Amino acid sequence: MANRIRTTQQLLAAFPHVAGGADLTSVMAKYPMAITPYYASLIRRADSSDPIFQMCVPRSQELSDPPFLMPDPLEECHDMPVPGMVHRYPDRALVIATTMCSTYCRHCTRKRIAGTRETNITKRRLEQIAAYLTEHPQISDVIVSGGDPLTMSTEHLEMVLSRLRQVPSVQIIRIGTRVPVVLPMRITDELCAMLRKYHPIWINTHFNHPQELTPESIAACNRLSDAGVPLGNQSVLLRGVNDRPQIIEQLCRALVRNRVRPYYLYQCDLVRGVEHFRTPVSRGMEIMEYLRGRLSGLAIPMFVVDAPHGGGKIPVLPNYVVSQSPTHTVLRNYEGMLIAYPEPQDRCEGHSAMPQEECSPGVWELAAGAYSRIQPEKTVRHTRRRTCCPSNETAREY
């Protein structure tokens, strides 16, 4: 932390070919820069073709502010019954425990606060939050976020966790942190021993690119898992960084291999200063279409748009329900195979749409129950089935 790259001079000393100048100074005056030496060491090319470089080095595009971008698009400030605590969903609350991060991500959704002042939650504020949680026992799940809570000293973080644990209705504590990615040496045995005292503790971390999965970051994740902390990962879809299906596939495979469950893939929020990172929503859907069938469900994150105006996370999926009748739902799988799923018999009474005449298979015939599936000819799986077991073919399946 003490050796973070924080100034233009330090940045240029580390990467002499970076264009300095007035733009960089203006960006950094608005959105602070900090890069841990470790994270800087992951940069392979000091230009915008490098994903790590893009995520941590300020660029002039951050000053572009189309009118639909907002400082707080999720309207967290409107859902703060106590300053520093967001209460949006009935059973969950989010505590902003610090405004400090070890590395300031250029795509951060809380650019309005991250790094503007580096402060940690006070005891007085923590008491106000604990009082609110006690008065609202429906809140059973508290997310400790920031900034990055794992930049706090172990003692300060313990003060937060132990106070939250004293609220009887708080069942689960989650910590949102990018420290395993940008400062993995912070995950010490001492920190893990402290976390163990406050289980169930869950951690969601924030890997965006396979290049971030290094021996050091994997070891940090292993230390947390070995301390009994289930790990999830929240990635953000970022233009030019990870917006190709193969990159997300590689990332998800590597995460699962290292006991980190891919949890969310976020559409970039409508935050000021991140327009150059935004991808169309259709790119996320393309990626989800690509992952399904290639990866196990365990390795597939949920693609969500965290809706503006505090609308919350909305899952966005390719459409797998093709049609419905009272007797059948017609579904499609990742190969394009159409399958008629029959509804329970007692729900179908009085509904008989079966065609009376000879017909050729189409979606209506599947919904009517005349056929059970329409099978694309040349999929690998279908070819294998036909080779292994020709009797799989039946007269009413196409």
By the criterion CB under 6 A, which residues form the site for ligand SF4?
Answer: 101, 104-105, 108, 110, 114, 146-148, 178
From 111, 269, 272, 398, the catalytic residue: 269
Task: Check if 198 is active-site.
Answer: no
Task: Check if 341 is active-site.
Answer: no
- Pairing assessment for the beta strands 141-145 and 85-86 based on DSSP bridges: unpaired
Q: From the CB of 310, what's the least distance to ligand SF4, in Å?
A: 18
Q: From the CB of 317, what's the least distance to ligand SF4, in Å?
A: 25
Q: At what angle do helices 154-165 and 123-135 cross, to 10 degrees?
A: 20
Task: Check if 272 is active-site.
Answer: no
Q: From the CB of 22, what's the least distance to ligand SF4, in Å?
A: 24
From 44, 65, 89, 197, the catalytic residue: 89
Toward ligand SF4, which CB reaches closer, 179 or 338?
Answer: 179
Q: From the CB of 236, what's the least distance to ligand SF4, in Å?
A: 8
Task: Check if 108 is active-site.
Answer: yes
From 50, 104, 108, 178, the catalytic residue: 108
> What DSSP element (H or E) covers 287?
helix 281-291
Q: From the CB of 351, what's the least distance to ligand SF4, in Å?
A: 52
Q: From the CB of 4, what's the least distance to ligand SF4, in Å?
A: 12
Toward ligand SF4, which CB reaches closer, 101 or 121?
Answer: 101
Toward ligand SF4, which CB reaches closer, 4 or 110?
Answer: 110
Toward ligand SF4, which CB reaches closer, 97 or 368?
Answer: 97
Task: State both tokens at 386.
Answer: 């036909």
Q: How far apart are CA 267 and CA 161, in angstroms?
A: 30
From 38, 39, 50, 101, the catalytic residue: 101
From 110, 112, 174, 178, the catalytic residue: 110
Toward ligand SF4, which CB reaches closer, 178 or 328?
Answer: 178
Q: How far apart are CA 48 and CA 238, in angstroms?
A: 12
Task: Check if 123 is active-site.
Answer: no
Task: Check if 269 is active-site.
Answer: yes
Beta strands (DSSP E) in the chain are 85-86, 92-96, 141-145, 172-176, 201-205, 231-236, 260-266, 302-307, 312-315, 321-324, 328-332, 338-342, 373-374
Toward ligand SF4, which CB reaches closer, 109 or 279?
Answer: 109
Residues 6 or more apart in contact with residue 14 via CB below 8 angstroms: 5, 40
From 239, 313, 373, 385, the catalytic residue: 313
- Pairing assessment for the beta strands 231-236 and 201-205 based on DSSP bridges: parallel
Task: Check if 59 is active-site.
Answer: no
Task: Check if 359 is active-site.
Answer: no
Q: How many CB atoms lie within 10 A of CB 388?
A: 8
Residues recognised as catalytic: 88-89, 92, 101, 105, 108, 110, 269, 306, 313
